[in-house]
Amino acid sequence: MTRLSVNINKIATLRNARGGNVPDVLKAVIDCERFGAEGITVHPRPDERHIRYRDVRDISPIVTTEFNIEGFPNKKFIDLVLEVKPNQVTLVPDPPGVLTSNAGWDTIKNEAFLKEVNSEFKRNGIRVSVFIETHAKLIENAAKTGADRVELYTEAYASNFPIDKEKAIAPFTEAAKVASSVGLGLNAGHDLDLGNLKYFAQNIPGLLEVSIGHALISDALYLGLENTVQMYLRELR
């Protein structure tokens, strides 16, 4: 069964726009889990424009499901992850200042770097997922870096879904088979929403987890957070 991990970055974005502590990020974590979320995801960036490093430290003790920290593995990020020791770290190759994650790792070009980082996390009992596109050789090489899972970057699927959903899903189905063949677990995320999530989950074998933030939090403005979390869960069931 595919787990739903709620990315709460947008809650922090709204808080930071005004200062203070409204909306309360910690309350959002507690509520998301209370409403059925099976994981919490955060993506701290160097400029702390949404989730702050302090938030990550504050959130860690209150998560009762699974805690997933995403980000680019510079020294500050690595030190934070090793301090907090989440259930999972998802490595994303986004440079400082980028608006949102927009590419997966080249696991061939960055093999040595990823091996070093992954081994450090795994020595500390942290599951490692690598954000990646659907290129078979890059997925195969992710296994060589010591990753436990890959997270498929699903922007291309979401963009093409309204045009031709069968064509949109095809490379992701093949990527899932490649991941399974080299012993990698499979996550997915980016632009998944209530319109395209069910079809994706139904057609991706072995999908363990989806991480959804922007669409889910946006839907919650109209539908309420409890109702929205439940709606996303139903799409996965």
Q: Which one of the listed residues 33, 70, 133, 209 is annotated catalytic? A: 70
- How large is the average pLDDT for residues 133-139? 97
Is the pLDDT assigned to residue 43 strictly greater than 90? yes
Summarised one tens digit per residue, pLDDT across range 199-236 is 999 999 999 999 999 999 999 999 999 999 999 999 99
Q: In CATH, what is the architecture of 3-236?
A: Alpha-Beta Barrel (3.20)
- How large is the average pLDDT for residues 29-55? 96
CA distances from 206 to 100, 133, 217, 219, 225 (A): 26, 17, 26, 27, 28
pLDDT band for position 102 (50/70/90)?
low
Residue 82 token pair:
């090793």
Residue 14 burial (10 A CB sphere; 0-12, 13-18, 19+):
middle
Rounded Cα distance, 106 and 124, in Å: 25
pLDDT in the model for residue 211: 98
Rounded Cα distance, 75 and 97, in Å: 17
Percent of the chain with pLDDT over 90: 94
Rounded Cα distance, 169 and 153, in Å: 12
Summarised one tens digit per residue, pLDDT across range 169-210 is 999 999 999 999 999 999 999 999 999 999 999 999 999 999
- The angle formed by the CA atoms of residues 31, 68 and 135, to the nearest 5 degrees, is 130
Q: Which one of the listed residues 38, 66, 190, 209 is annotated catalytic? A: 190
Is the pLDDT assigned to residue 95 strictly greater than 70? no
pLDDT band for position 103 (50/70/90)?
confident
CA distances from 101 to 57, 147, 185, 191, 196 (A): 22, 19, 21, 11, 19
Rounded Cα distance, 233 and 102, in Å: 25
Is the pLDDT assigned to residue 98 strictly greater than 90? no
Rounded Cα distance, 231 and 17, in Å: 28
pLDDT band for position 94 (50/70/90)?
confident
pLDDT in the model for residue 8: 98
Mutual angle of helices 136-144 and 165-181, in 10-degree steps: 30
Please indicate whether residue 50 is annotated as part of the active site.
no
Is the pLDDT assigned to residue 97 strictly greater than 70? no
Please indicate whether residue 70 is annotated as part of the active site.
yes
pLDDT in the model for residue 116: 97
Q: What's the chain's average pLDDT?
A: 96
For the chain, the structural domain boundaries read: 3-236
- Please tell me whether residue 6 adopts helix, strand or coil conformation: strand
- How large is the average pLDDT for residues 21-35? 98
Which run of H or of E encompasses 28?
helix 25-34
- The pairing of strands 127-132 and 185-189 is unpaired
Is the pLDDT assigned to residue 77 strictly greater than 90? yes
Residue 224 token pair:
């309420």
Within 10 angstroms of residue 184's Cβ, the number of other Cβ atoms is: 22
- How large is the average pLDDT for residues 126-132? 98
pLDDT in the model for residue 96: 58
pLDDT in the model for residue 100: 54
Please indicate whether residue 83 is annotated as part of the active site.
no
CA-based end-to-end distance of the chain: 7
Residue 43 token pair:
């993506």
Cβ partners under 8 Å of residue 234, min gap 6: none
pLDDT in the model for residue 201: 98
Q: Which one of the listed residues 38, 43, 66, 151 is annotated catalytic? A: 43
Is the pLDDT assigned to residue 101 strictly greater than 70? no
